Amino acid sequence: MTNPTDNPLYNSNQHVRGEFVEKDLYDEADYCIVGSGAAGAACARTLTKEGASVILVEEGPYYSSANYTVNVWKTMKKVCREAGMLAAITPSFSMPILQGTCVGGSTLINSAISWRLPEEAHHVWAKQFGLGEALPYAALENCFSTIEEELHIVSTPDNVAGKNNLLMKKGAQALGIPASPTLRAVHECEGKGLCLQGCPNHRKQSMTITYIPMALQKGARLYSSCRVEKISVEKGASVGVIGHFLSQDRQRKKMKLQVRARKGVILAASAIQTPLLLQRNRLANSSGQVGAHFQAHPGAAMLGFYKEEVRQWEGATQGFQTKPSWEKRYKLESLTLPPELLMIRMPGIGLKTMSYLDSLRHTALWVAAIRSEAQGKIRNFLGIPQVLYVPTPRDMETLRNALKTLADMHFAAGAYAVAPNVLGLPDLLTSPDQTRLLSEQPAQPGQVTMAATHLFGTCRMGVDPKTSVVNPRFECHDVKKLYITDSSVFPTNIGVNPQHTIIAMAMHASHGILDRGS
Amino acid sequence: MSRYERRWIVGVVHAIYPSDVTAGVTGFPLGAKEFPMDRFVEDFFRHTSFQARWGLRFAFFLFQILPFLFIGRFRFFHRLDPKDQQRYLECWHYHRFHVIREVTVLFKLVASLGFCGFPEVQERIGYDKPNRQPPL
Ligand SMILES: Cc1cc2nc3c(=O)[nH]c(=O)nc-3n(C[C@H](O)[C@H](O)[C@H](O)COP(=O)(O)OP(=O)(O)OC[C@H]3O[C@@H](n4cnc5c(N)ncnc54)[C@H](O)[C@@H]3O)c2cc1C
Ligand code: SF4
């Protein structure tokens, strides 16, 4: 099999690696896309397919498959924002936020779970934000179908599921909880359990091996290791961007890149970086909504301890899930973590934590992600990016119910103990009747260790320029030809894994942008 | 980062993953002391952002100098005996103030990214992936 990650186009003159650039560069095209993750790559694919010329500028490096490693720190420092140390921090609550910063964005390190936008979410967008006409569900469905075919979205078969996933199936079946194998964008997954470090055998259909090469094939040009800092605006319309190439360790700015975009600039830098970029440029913010309404799906993990060996690292990274319930506001998933990240979730510290090292192979890890109602904020504070976010009491109640269900499922699957990871509860719950403690305990946000990877809402879409940043055509109300296509435009979170919807929305947006451009 | 600061930080990592030799009771035959954690710590701080780097350095500094406040010992952390180090770590880890607890979660993160990333540790855990590499 040829190695699709190392598509020869990445080594052609269509790809400029910022680390090696020695002089200032200038380029121009119809469209300049900032960010090459789920949204940016989908735009590049769609625009080039229709004959537009595209320049894709990506802050992170091109991470060749030759460099993939199972070592978490080595991966994080190369491809994660702030080397994986980005977090929402307040005095009462903190939550790590993981994001990819490389060609392909977060899709290089995600699990490729794919869900269509729930109709309930679309209904809210239509009813509360007036988006029903501009974003018809049928149009999105067409995009979903295309993506499902192009990215091979399939259900995880039992033969690559691994025990972590199969135990979850057993637990859900025993309790009669509706659940199913995960739908993922993978092609002949071998169940290596390494999605978070970059799939070594190129089974996961990240943007790095799919839509970016497709766009390059159609003539797109890619500038990697180049951070866009300025959006150029003339006569109320965006006309290009200016960025700086970054040194190999990403600590130093090097030469300058100036891009002229004849038909528009598309921001697809993620729900955290897009508002920060606009704030730094003091653009598109007459509504004061840029960076506001930050939403997420905070998640918490529950470890089950089993007598038999589980070896959670064998099998698909995330191969089983419960059916998300819009009313219950949570979704449960299996998750494989490498030892470096697993040990952080072990109870206690020092000697106590260490005593669990030998039992790691007997653990199964499942997580609960909630459709939180909390809204936070992204801002530049003295030049330092800040994420402010605290789950609400209702979110905590949702999470407690979700955690209790996870614990019940573990016991139903045969676990002899679970680690609730909730301050104030015992380190281990050792019998099924103890799980009620999880729903009884009135947990404060800071008592539960959470993390987030699904982010939304910071440049939300709407018809009213006073309460939203972009119009239903994905164009900023305040700046013509400046488009935003990542999940910052989602008016709300969606209760399921977002990449499929992000890609579909970006495709849909691109069709509209093309119409407008012509 | 000065030599002293690095030594302090590595000292905390050693206490989070103590060697059987010093602790005597972990049952796990390897501890952070068996690995070049100083090189890992150096690399870690080189790659984190300005705010994470300074926040963490400040947290390590406070942790180093405050045993007297938490466990009544007038010594720096790295001069405490292993039993007191463990007691002190737990005081922070189970503290009622979120900010204080969070500091030890961060320490645990740094220590785990380092120690649990070494192939010898992973071998013993049973994480038998091909091409394992140390976190250096
Ligand atoms: C570990 C992990 C697991 C996940 N698992 C799943 C999953 O299984 N299913 C799912 O649906 N979702 C999952 N997600 C979430 C999903 O990957 C993201 O929601 C999605 O990739 C977001 O798309 P995006 O285009 O908005 O941002 P990203 O994919 O993050 O891409 C944004 C890109 O913009 C670049 N950029 C930012 N600022 C600039 C700038 N100034 N100049 C140039 N470039 C810039 C960044 O470097 C980045 O590459 C996961 C995420 C993570 C981190
Ligand atoms: S589970 Fe393994 S083989 Fe399958 S997509 Fe993920 S890393 Fe690739």
Residue A437 has which token pair?
Answer: 């403690």
Residues A351, B25: C-beta atoms closer than 8 Å: yes
Mark the ranges of chain A whose per-residue pLDDT is less than 50: 1-2, 4
Spacing, Cα A146 to ligand 1 middle (Å): 20
Interchain CB distance below 8 Å, B86 and A350: yes
What is residue A482's predicted lDDT score, i.e. its pLDDT?
98
Q: What is the pLDDT of residue A1?
A: 36
Q: Which residues contact A133 (CB under 8 A, 6 or more apart)?
A: A472
Give residue A201's pLDDT. Answer: 85
- The answer to whether A509 contacts chain B (CB < 8 Å) is no
Pairs of residues, one from chain A and one from chain B, whose beta carbons lie less than 8 Å apart = 131
Q: What is the pTM of this model?
A: 0.96
Average pLDDT along chain A: 94
pLDDT digits (tens, 9 = 90+) for A428-454: 999 999 999 998 876 789 999 999 999
**Complex-level ipTM:** 0.94
Largest CA distance in chain A: 69
Going by alpha carbons, the residue nearest to atom 4 of ligand 2 is A189
Residue B86 with chain A: CB contacts under 8 Å: 350-351
pLDDT, position B23:
52
Domains of chain A as residue ranges with CATH: 4-83+115-150+208-288+459-517 (3.50.50.60), 155-195+295-374+392-449 (3.30.410)
Contacts 24+ apart (CB under 8 A), B70-78: B76/B8, B77/B8, B77/B11, B77/B12, B77/B15, B78/B7, B78/B8, B78/B11, B78/B12
Task: Supply the Cα-derived Rg of chain B in whole angstroms.
Answer: 15
Which long-range contacts (C-beta less than 8 Å, at least 24 apart) are formed by B20-27? B22/B82, B23/A351, B23/A354, B23/B82, B23/B86, B25/A351, B26/A351, B26/A354, B26/A355, B26/A357, B27/A355, B27/A358
Residue identified by tokens 């870690």 is: B44
Q: How high is the pLDDT of residue A2? A: 41
Task: Establish if B70 touches chain A: CB-CB under 8 angstroms.
Answer: no
For A191-269, where are the alpha helices, taking DSSP H only?
Answer: 211-217
Band the pLDDT of B5: cuts 50, 70, 90.
Answer: confident
Decide if A180 contacts A321 (C-beta within 8 A): yes
Measure the CA angle with vertex A100, ends A485 and A282; round to 5°: 50
The DSSP secondary structure of A268-314, one letter per residue, reads -SHHHHHHHHHHHTT-S-TTS-TT-SBEE--EEEEEEE-SS---TTS
How far does chain A reach from its first CA to its final CA, in angstroms?
A: 40
Count CB neighbours of B79 within 10 A: 13
pLDDT, tens digit (0-9, with 9 covering 90-100), for B23-68 = 555 578 889 999 999 999 999 999 998 888 999 999 999 999 999 9
Residue B74, pLDDT > 60, answer: yes
CA distance B82 to B68: 16
Give the span between the Cα atoms of B13 and A361, in whole angstroms.
Answer: 23
pLDDT at B84: 94
What's residue B20's pLDDT? Answer: 66
Average pLDDT (B78-97) is 92
From the CA of A100, how far away is ligand 1's center (Å)? Answer: 5
Tokens standing for residue A518:
């012509």
Helix (H, G, I), strand (E, B) or coil at B36: coil
